[in-house]
Amino acid sequence: AKLVGHFRYYGVTDNSNGIHTFGYCVRRKLFEILNRRSQKKSLTWEGFAKLTDRFPLAKARIYVNIYG
């Protein structure tokens, strides 16, 4: 819900690079947080991809076109 709210607020024309970068940073931080659950690195990027396929995060997209 927080991610969707951020994309809806900042998802205006000409800000697509910013919201895509923010979405990538959120995914990377979530990967780091899930990896801290044990003493060893238990989650790989492939495992994280399977996890996000099962429980998808919101996609970054433009919600408001300010030119039309």
The residue segments making up the domain with residue 45 are 1-54
Residue 59: which residues within 8 A CB-CB, separation 6 or more? 23
Residue 34 domain flag: yes
pTM of this structure: 0.77
- The domain total for the chain is 1
Sign of CA dihedral 27, 52, 63, 8: negative
Residue 26: which residues within 8 A CB-CB, separation 6 or more? 3, 57
pLDDT digits (tens, 9 = 90+) for 9-52: 888 888 888 899 999 999 999 999 988 877 777 889 999 999 99
